[in-house]
Amino acid sequence: MFPASFDYKAPASLSEALTLLGQSDDAKALAGGQSLLPLMKLRLASPATLIDLRNVPELKGIRGDGGGVILGAMTTYFQAVDSPLVQQKTPLIVQALRQVGDPQVRARGTIGGSLAHADPAGDLPAVALALNGRMHVIGPKGERDIGVRDFFVDMLTTALEPDELLAWVRFEATDTPHTGTAYAKHRHPASGYAVVGVAAVVMLDDAGNCVEARVGVTGAGGHAIRATGVEQALNGQPFAANVEAASAHAADGLDLLSDAYASADYRGHLARVLTRRALNEAAQKARG
Ligand SMILES: Cc1cc2nc3c(=O)[nH]c(=O)nc-3n(C[C@H](O)[C@H](O)[C@H](O)COP(=O)(O)OP(=O)(O)OC[C@H]3O[C@@H](n4cnc5c(N)ncnc54)[C@H](O)[C@@H]3O)c2cc1C
């Protein structure tokens, strides 16, 4: 299948990219192309202009930031997974991104593209939620930060304006004492996407009480969410005695997706089971 014809621009700076984006009502940023190009080939998207971000230096790079790690939007999955800083500060990113698609997708797909696309079955959105991600966005009116919980608005819809670009994302580090993280996923057998995926961060005290649990769930509903019912049932409570009952809240309030592969009931079941698995694995790492 072939996409409709389009103009192609490859700006060499962020300001040039933003100018080009603002010049057309029908321009789209191109990152790794792993979601946008299939949509164009299916004619589900037909932008008049593609603005390729590959040469924009301001969107690249990985760096530490106090208690966090900043990943430029154009960081590929492979670059994130291979980064010693990411491995040390946010091993959850590494564990989850190793499970994305296949090597070709991980070589081309980017952090910014994954989050801006907001696929309901994408892995990184759940991780960003569990790591209290902060999106740094730049547009014609200036720069702003969007907390991850306000970023995912609906299926394939974020708080980004059409003339804005996601520049970088800050993830909270988890290399703190008594803290563990884990990602549990049920892969779609054909695409590798998350039928359901659960990212968990667990902090315990010396007595085994849960100081803080953060749980991001993807694949179950129209967009990734924080499982606040699970978190509230665990925070301040003995972890081991409460993890099973807390996990039962994983699909609370979700309008569960249903398709030929997985019914809504099955997705709800997966959300509960994978939440328990992710929490237990994270707690095991937190105990050291
Ligand atoms: C066979 C296959 C299997 C896959 N399996 C998985 C999987 O298991 N798990 C998973 O999570 N994903 C999977 N994916 C999707 C993959 O992760 C995509 O790479 C990702 O969703 C989009 O990233 P990208 O860099 O390719 O973005 P693109 O496709 O280039 O862009 C996606 C969207 O984001 C916008 N965009 C990109 N960058 C920016 C920016 N900086 N600012 C604003 N908007 C921007 C684009 O305009 C476009 O609308 C799979 C894809 C394929 C083809």
Q: What is the CA radius of gyration of the chain?
A: 19
Look over the chain and give the mean of its residue pLDDT values, rounded to a whole number: 97
**CA-based nearest residue to 56, from 106, 110, 93, 128:** 110
Cα 94 to middle of ligand 1, angstroms: 17
Cα 157 to middle of ligand 1, angstroms: 13
Phi, psi of 64 (to 5 degrees): -80, 155
Burial label, 128 (beta-carbon count in 10 A; 0-12, 13-18, 19+): buried
Which residue puts its alpha carbon closest to atom 50 of ligand 1?
A: 101
**Model pLDDT for residues 139-158, shown as the tens digit of each residue:** 999 999 999 999 999 999 99
7-52 classified as CATH 3.30.43.10: yes
**Model pLDDT for residues 16-55, shown as the tens digit of each residue:** 999 999 998 899 999 999 999 999 999 999 999 999 999 9
Which residue puts its alpha carbon closest to atom 46 of ligand 1?
A: 29
Query: Using a 6 Å CB cutoff, which residues line ligand 1?
Result: 28-36, 38, 53, 73, 100-101, 105, 108-110, 112-114, 116-117, 119, 122-124, 160, 165-166, 191-193
Architecture of the structural domain at 57-172:
2-Layer Sandwich (3.30)
Cα angle at 215 between 165 and 59, to 5 degrees?
20
Burial label, 78 (beta-carbon count in 10 A; 0-12, 13-18, 19+): middle
Task: Break the chain into its structural domains and give their ranges.
Answer: 7-52, 57-172, 179-287
* Contact of 21 with 64, CB cutoff 8 Å: no
**Fold annotation for 179-287:** Enolase-like; domain 1 (3.30.390)
